[in-house]
Amino acid sequence: MARQRVMAEPEPLIPLHGGYRHLKSFRVAQLVYDTTVRFCDRFIDKRSRTHDQMVQAARSGVQNIAEGSQASGTSKKTELKLTNVARASLEELRLDYGDFLRQRGLAPWPPNHPALMRFKAKRCATLEEVRAWVADERSRGRTNTDPHGRTQTAKDEHGPGSPSPASVSVREGLCASVSSVSAVSTGELAANAALSLLNLCCYFLDRQLASQAAAFEKEGGFTERLYRTRFRQRG
């Protein structure tokens, strides 16, 4: 009886599979997809190929993670292949966001950028949380914070003794300027938030691919399991 308890459970021919909704890579990829759909509808011409390509690349990331996880029951090779397709699609999307910033004279933020650090600290799990962060950062921008997050006063901005705008025409010009800057700033915020999520998702997928490759090398796939199962049955 004790010997039976010590014996390992027989290897199942079709192991547990699916469960992709619990994967960190899937959850972040899904948020990237939702964020990208919103971003493209707002900042990319809907008639352009870029709009469709970005949305499809984001969708491909989500779908291939799910499909690979589901296929793993009978084909570890297919799982590995589809996970790699997901990783490649998200890399393509990362380049598109980089192009969006570069073509507008902007740059991806470094990891220690104050706004980006606040975004990471929020650990957004939904599109609404990402949008709330963007709105919060825009509010900070209206108080004229410097790159270190310190508030600047109007006196700091114009220098000692600088005259404040008095005429209606000047005020109208300033309002137009602020509106333009706010629009660009919103795109910059959204693009950098998406890039941060993509960096995290690609990190998870790289680890996932390494783990899948190691498991496939060590245990083989369905054919090897079938052979081992039939060998036990004959024994």
Over range 199-221, report the average pLDDT: 87
> Taking 70 as the threshold, does the pLDDT of residue 38 lie above it?
yes
Q: How far apart are CA 121 and CA 114, in angstroms?
A: 11
Per-domain boundaries in the chain = 16-138+175-234
> Taking 60 as the threshold, does the pLDDT of residue 176 lie above it?
no
Query: Would you say the pTM of this structure is higher than 0.85?
Result: no
Residues 6+ apart with CB under 8 A from 110: 116
Q: How far apart are CA 147 and CA 134, in angstroms?
A: 16
Predicted pLDDT at 185: 72
Q: Can you count the helices (H) and strands (E) in the chain? A: 9, 0
- Segment 107-123, tens digit of pLDDT: 899 999 999 999 999 99
> Are 97 and 194 in contact, with CB atoms under 8 Å apart?
yes
Pick the more confident residue, 212 or 207: 207
**What value, to the nearest 5°, has the Cα angle with vertex 40 and ends 35 and 44?**
155
**Taking Cα atoms as reference points, which of 22, 35, 196 lies closest to residue 122?**
196
The CATH class of the 16-138+175-234 domain is mainly alpha
> Taking 80 as the threshold, does the pLDDT of residue 209 lie above it?
yes
Over range 216-224, report the average pLDDT: 62
- Segment 121-154, tens digit of pLDDT: 999 999 999 999 999 999 887 755 454 444 453 3
The sign of the dihedral angle between the CA atoms of 193, 194, 195, 200 is: positive
